[in-house]
Structure 1
Amino acid sequence: MMKHELEDQLKAFEKKGIDRRHFFKLMAMAGLLTAASTQKAKAFSSNAKGKIVIIGGGAAGISMAARLKSWLDKPDITLIDPSDRQFYQPGFTLIASGVYQPDDVWRKQEDCMPSDIKWIKDSVAAVDPVWNQVTTKNNGKIAYDFLVLTPGIQINWEKVEGITHDTLGQGNANSIYDYEGAQKTWKALQEFSKTGGRGIFTDTYTKHKCGGAPKKICLLTEHYNRKQGTRDKVDLNYYTA
């Protein structure tokens, strides 16, 4: 739909008294128009009513909450997430290479939450799209008019034979997809530079957080060894699926 067509349709709905069903349909269409500004979105959404529930309080969930808040005059937004801390996860690779310190990549979750957003510190156990409600682990059922799913990725460490989350770092097998794992990787990288040897970096064929991260830590390891004058002591191997 062209931008002017969307605006014409919005004016027609406003004259009739736009309801939340039509509003959310139109808002979804507006998201496809890259030229549509936040101000225009706010202008057509000011009369919309409805309870919005967002599952997940990572970067996606919090940024969506902030955007919806700017679009709506009187937002009724509930965000459900159990975390105490908000992590900048791209920084895990930089912890693993010594560029960042561990405390550089997180803030308190409460400090990242947009104002006037209701935060329920809980986990969602089930979603019922028929009755428009979600079931939380500790706070019962929560109804919604519109649901946004941004739960992030769950890492099943036990699916990798020979490793668990608790054994990361043992046998010099490390992972940068974890806050603690990144810190262990940095310790291992420094020791690897001193002792030398063969380093294997892998990129799985399964779904994971960031396809570029294995490449980055491989290159950062190479860079670190050059800085230490130990590049000739290490053999770096990168395997991609």
Structure 2
Amino acid sequence: MKNAKQIFTTLLTLGALSMLTACGSSQQVAGSTDSSSRTPVTDIGSASSKALAYCNQASGNDITGKMKVFVDSSNYVRMEYVYLRLTSLPATFKTGGSYISLWKWLANPSGYTNLDTSALNFALMNPANGQYLTGWKTTLKWSDVVTVASGMGYTDPQTFFNNVNILVDLKDPNGEYDALKISNYDASTNKAINTVDGLLPLFAANPADYANDNGSTRAGVLQKLHPFYGKSGQFSTSQFQSMANNYCF
């Protein structure tokens, strides 16, 4: 089992740093303005005693997306960003019949949910060198990146997306939002075809710990999104953390 410093060292080695400009200050103060399920931390040292999931996976409806925390060049966790990798894409996206947009939403202990109606900005990046492959976008079609993919030697959409990162600007430095929604839309009608939701890291790796929201019971809609929902007591907390970090890329 790796400790937090080793985990973050691994993330950095795998290209978790990008060459951002005009991104604002690092998140250096722990805590949140609400009872969000995300757990802001300071630097990698402050995370060492917390059994947190640094990565996650959301899967369903022909879409699978893996998420990973963003760490800046000073080893600070930046809650306003998250890395996404699309490891399974709908057939309609591959053929040009649909496009993808990203959203964020939150829920409180009473079960009230709120979707931010502003689509999130995101950009594709080459993890090998941290270079941007696109500008900031709110929609993504295969035709938008087919030329870039070809230049990197990829002709198959899924192979290309298996090897690039999507940097998502959550505009959420305090980690107040709980989940990322990946939505696929028909390119002709702009109507949603399918969606998948996943918890934004960082969050408690043990589902039993995650179910506790500062003394209250966390909203069921969020508990069910936990990657190990229904497995409480089957593994140790450290095992749950290791399982979650297997989703890292």
TM-score, normalised by the number of residues in structure 2: 0.23
Higher relative contact order (CA 8 A, sep 6+): 2
TM-score, normalised by the number of residues in structure 1: 0.23
More strand by percentage: 2
User: Of the two, which has the highest radius of gyration?
Assistant: 1
